[in-house]
Amino acid sequence: MKKTTLRVLLFMLMIPVLAVALCGCSGDKKGKGSSIVVGIPQDLEDSLDPHKVEAAGTKEVLFNIFEGLIKPDSNGDFIPAVAQSYEVSDDALTYTFTLRDGVKFHDGSTVTAEDVKYSIDRCADASGGSPLVAAYSNIKDTQIDGNNFIVHLNDPDTEFLAYMTTAIIPQNNKNPDTNPIGTGPYMFVSRSPQENFIVKKFDDYYDKERAAHIENVTFKVIGNMDTVAMELQSGAIDLLPRIPIAQADLLDTKDFTILEETMNLVQALYLNNAEAPFDNVKVRQALCYAIDPQEIMLFVSDGKGTEIGSSMFPAFSKYFMEELNHTYDQDIEKAKQLLSEAGYPDGFSFDITVASNYTQHVDTAQVLADEFDKIGVTANIKLVEWDSWLSDVYNNRQFQSTVVGVDASSLTASALLQRFTSDSSKNFINYSNAAYDEAFKKALAATDDGEKTKYYKECERILSEDAANVYIQDLPEFVAISNKFTGYEFYPLYVQDMAKVRLAE
Amino acid sequence: MKTSKKKNINFILGISVISVMALFILCGKILPLRDPNAIDASLKFASPSLKHPFGCDNFGREILSRVMEGSFSTFLIALGTVFIGTFFGIIIGALTGYFGGVVDEVLMRINDAIFAFPSILLALLFISLLGPGTYQVVIALGIAFIPSFARIVRGEFLKNRNMDYVKCAKLLGASDLRIMVIHILPNTLKVLLNSVLIGFNNAVLAEASMSFLGIGVQPPDPSLGRMLSEAQAYLFKAPNYALFPGLAIILMVLGFGLLSDSFEK
């Protein structure tokens, strides 16, 4: 009796499922009903509010949901988004954006100039200490003029455009933390903690050219990157950015294509500069002399990767200084000598805290520990979960050192360098150097591009010579994509643009 | 007759397997093998050879010396875990079993509550409080193991406390402590020994699972579980990487399993 009821119930359930499935078959012309599963290494835990989000892993997903007045493209240029055009005054003090007509939020409402002003003002609000977007402290006021939105600056800034990618969000959204509403090609559907984050195509996207191709995208949290090849091969995941090279080797090339680029991250052993022994520049330099990035790459990524010597990666070709790679070439004797000058002739012992979900960082830490051992320094590796890394290391700065990759949130040098100014809220290594602050300030103030570049490079040189961190590499990035799909594009930023991905013919 | 013979074989087999493992661990301590943590790019994924009988891992570390060192740390952790579990288990079990009453009720209900959680989950909870590391794992697993020992010891004390020899001792004026330690405890040893051996097995497996999850022994130090977890990524490229630590776990568990079988009633 019970069994029959269950069967009837199951059958009734099957009808809508079948109907949906059949629909999917019939309308498979322009990617209708199509879906893709993308593997991500961590859950979107911090916040879904685009203005408050910190974790690169969250930002790369939210890129699909939110857009600013302008947005970056895969070449590193800016293309108009919510604004249809913009104008910068000659003195670099006034930025005027002409808003595009008929841009809609995911909830159906039309984007108004008030929403734009609200979004920018929200990020410029300094009442809680520093503004959400640090560069917005330069905003004097914002103004609506008909269909135009105007930003007035205190000091001239030729780079300010890069910060206008700030997401435009509706003024009336009560829960931006959990209910993200934007204007991007994809709209939020649901999030299951530790499991997945689901978005679907936004049909009212203003630009048919740039609209999404694939109907449904599931970002699936991958618990264990070491077995991911099996998940890919079984079809549980279709696209996996940052696949470990050992796993990529296992995939059948008939089913998957492996794309290669660099990650655009500054991977380093980040040192808590406020805490002994790393408050001593000689100790930091000794660690720099102890390591050989090439050796690390050999172990971690089969020799692929790009060496870096400061907080800048090669994709920013204008600012990247290759010569800084050689500020410290491996020199064990020199390292030991510096240690004894610093008062640690017998070495010391310290902790490297690493988020256990990042195999590359864990492996890097292991090679580092071996290299430090040679100068008599003992490094104890402490593996922690990603969320405790975020709260203990990044937010509360309770750590001695950590291996991690730091990304650029916008396409400017300052996105990487501002972090190290003494009073920056993102300065998790507690770096403090008056000369650095000075050089950074000058770089911001400069209106001449050449001069600006000069000061940014000065900042990089100070970081390198002061051994703020033990710089290692910009990691190589491998992306595994199922041959059912095509169109994946690499960005000079840490983002996954799913709107570009489409079904293969 | 037949069964006792089988027990005998179990005993001999168990002892031999354990001796082999003990010898293996001892060799790792005595023989001048390569430092288990020394990395070498030229030996990355070296296949098994005369010089490196088990081959090398993704850091060019010798798997043989790592399995030896890993077996040792896994063994020590299991030993520590069982020690904590038995020590506190005996104390709690003896007190509750012997005195009964309110103390028994309260302690055993707490015990039941702890028992309700799977021991791995409980250990994970302690790890999140204590932070990762070898000693922390010993403490966490030890605490998680207490309830099962306490329960066994309590049962034995409960059974023995009304027996004639205990009553006699009481009449002779022996103190409670003396009765518990000198008279009853030796009579529980047989049951206890068996559960210690089984507990040891569970501890080996629990350590392996904890390290596999990345919260036990911290890299680069080896433990069997840690090695398995690292080898996982290279299962197809270098199967020997996973094979040997896996074998070591099997042997260790098998040895103690056979031994505990042979002690069963």
Q: What angle do CA A217, A219, A223 make, to 5 degrees?
A: 155
pLDDT of A266 above 90? yes
Identify the residue with better confidence: A4 or B12. B12
Does the CB of B58 have a partner CB in chain A at under 8 Å? yes
CB A86 within 8 A of CB A152: no
- For residue A487, give Cα distances in angstroms to A81, A95, A240, A280: 21, 34, 14, 49
Per-residue pLDDT of A129-138, as tens digits, reads 788 888 888 8
Does the CB of B237 have a partner CB in chain A at under 8 Å? yes
Q: Which of B37, B131, B233 sits opposite A244 (nearest CB)?
A: B233
- What pLDDT was estimated at residue A386? 84
Q: What is the mean pLDDT of chain B?
A: 87
Q: What is the mean pLDDT of chain A?
A: 88
Phi-psi region of A55 (alpha: psi -120 to 50; beta: other; left: phi over 0): beta
- Residue in chain A nearest B131 by alpha carbon: A384
In this structure, of A421-435, B106-120, B162-176, B194-208, the range with the lowest mean pLDDT score is: B106-120
Does the CB of B133 have a partner CB in chain A at under 8 Å? yes
Per-residue pLDDT of A287-296, as tens digits, reads 999 999 999 9
Angle formed by the axes of helices B63-99 and B224-231, nearest 10° = 130
- H-helix or E-strand spanning residue A139: strand A139-145
The percent of residues above 70 in pLDDT, for chain B, comes to 98
- What pLDDT was estimated at residue B235? 83
- For residue A117, give Cα distances in angstroms to A48, A97, A137, A140, A499: 20, 11, 15, 13, 27
Query: Would you call A102 helix, strand, or coil by DSSP?
Result: coil
Residue type at A469 in one-letter notation:
N
Does the CB of B41 have a partner CB in chain A at under 8 Å? yes
Find the distance separating the first CA and the last CA of chain A, reported in whole Å. Answer: 50
Residue A371: HSE in the Cβ half-sphere, 13 Å Cα cutoff: 27
- What pLDDT was estimated at residue A31? 57
In angstroms, what separates the C-alpha of A272 from chain B's closest C-alpha?
20
Query: Would you call A23 helix, strand, or coil by DSSP?
Result: helix
- What pLDDT was estimated at residue B225? 87
Per-residue pLDDT of A283-340, as tens digits, reads 999 999 999 999 999 988 888 889 999 999 988 888 899 999 999 999 999 999 999 9
Does the CB of A240 have a partner CB in chain B at under 8 Å? no
In angstroms, what separates the C-alpha of A380 from chain B's closest C-alpha?
8
- Residue in chain B nearest A226 by alpha carbon: B233
Sheet arrangement for strand A216-221: A186-192, A196-201, A216-221, A35-40, A239-240, A476-482, A256-262
Residues of chain B in contact with residue A295, where contact means CB-CB under 8 angstroms, are 41
Q: Quote the distance between the C-alpha of residue A241 and its chain's center.
A: 13
For range A430-444, the mean pLDDT: 92
Question: What span, in angstroms and rounded, lies between the C-alpha atoms of A141 and A263?
Answer: 36
Does the CB of A384 have a partner CB in chain B at under 8 Å? yes
Domains of chain B: 9-24+56-263 (1.10.3720.10)
Residues of chain A in contact with residue B133, where contact means CB-CB under 8 angstroms, are 382
Find the farthest-apart pair of alpha carbons in chain B and give their distance in angstroms, rounded: 76
Q: Does B131 sit within 8 Å of A382, measured CB to CB?
A: yes
For range A420-448, the mean pLDDT: 90
Question: What span, in angstroms and rounded, lies between the C-alpha atoms of B40 and A370?
Answer: 10
State ipTM.
0.78
Find the distance separating the first CA and the last CA of chain B, reported in whole Å. Answer: 14
Does the CB of B218 have a partner CB in chain A at under 8 Å? yes
- What pLDDT was estimated at residue A268? 95
- H-helix or E-strand spanning residue A257: strand A256-262
Residue to substitute from B34, B35, B39, B137, interface A, most A β-carbons within 10 A:
B39
Q: Which of A249, A365, A381 sits opposite B237 (nearest CB)?
A: A249
Residues of chain A in contact with residue B44, where contact means CB-CB under 8 angstroms, are 298-299
Residues of chain B in contact with residue A245, where contact means CB-CB under 8 angstroms, are none
Does the CB of A68 have a partner CB in chain B at under 8 Å? no
Residue B60: HSE in the Cβ half-sphere, 13 Å Cα cutoff: 15
pLDDT of A13 above 70? no
Q: How confident is the model at residue A4 (pLDDT cuts 50, 70, 90)?
A: low
- What pLDDT was estimated at residue A190? 93
**Residue-wise DSSP of B210-227:** HHHTT-SSPTTS--HHHH
Does the CB of A365 have a partner CB in chain B at under 8 Å? yes
The first and second tokens of residue B255, run together, are 């040895």
Give me the helices (H) in A77-165, please. Answer: 113-124
Q: Which of B59, B133, B233 sits opposite A226 (nearest CB)?
A: B233
In this structure, of A444-453, B12-21, B80-89, B199-208, the range with the lowest mean pLDDT score is: A444-453
Cis previous bond, B118, omega within 30? no
Residues of chain A in contact with residue B233, where contact means CB-CB under 8 angstroms, are 225-227, 244, 246-247, 359
Per-residue pLDDT of A15-50, as tens digits, reads 544 444 444 443 344 556 799 999 998 888 888 999
Q: How confident is the model at residue A91 (pLDDT cuts 50, 70, 90)?
A: confident
Residue type at A85 in one-letter notation:
S
pLDDT of B220 above 90? no
Per-residue pLDDT of B24-61, as tens digits, reads 999 888 888 888 888 888 888 888 888 888 989 888 89
Give me the helices (H) in chain B, please. Answer: 2-30, 63-99, 101-116, 119-130, 134-161, 164-171, 176-178, 185-212, 224-231, 239-263
- H-helix or E-strand spanning residue A295: helix A293-301
Q: Which of A247, A356, A366 sits opposite B220 (nearest CB)?
A: A366
Convert A66-101 to b/e letters by CB count within 10 Å (16 or more is b): bbbbbbbbeeeebebbbbbebeeeeebbbbbbbbbe
Question: What span, in angstroms and rounded, lies between the C-alpha atoms of B147 and B127?
Answer: 18
Per-residue pLDDT of B113-133, as tens digits, reads 888 888 778 888 888 888 778
Residue type at A386 in one-letter notation:
W
Residue to substitute from A222, A225, A226, interface B, most B β-carbons within 10 A:
A226
pLDDT of B93 above 50? yes
The first and second tokens of residue B233, run together, are 């990524």
CB pairs under 8 A between A and B: 60
pLDDT of B232 above 90? no
